[in-house]
Amino acid sequence: MTGTLQGNTLSLRHNSIDNRGSVTGLNGLTLNSTGRLTNSGDLLSQKSLTLSAGDVTNSGRLQGRTSP
C-alpha cells in the first residue's frame, strides 16, 4: 500500500500487508495479517495501535499511545 489512508478508527485484515505510505487511525489502528506485515512507512494512532502477524518487518515508524 502506498499513499495515505486515514480514518477515525481503522481495522485492516489481509493475508499479507506491505505498507510504504501513511496509515493513520486517529482513535485506533488495528492491522491483522495471517502472513507477513512489512512497514517502511508510517503506522500511526493517537490512541491504540495493535499489530498481529505471523512475521513483522519494520523499517518505518510505529506510533500509538499506551493506556494509563
**Chain segment 18-29, per-residue pLDDT in tens:** 999 999 999 999
Q: What's phi and psi for 24, nearest 5 deg?
A: -130, 125
Give the count of alpha carbons within 13 A of 27, CB side only: 3
- The model's confidence at residue 3, banded by pLDDT at 50, 70 and 90, is very high
Q: What is the pTM of this model?
A: 0.91
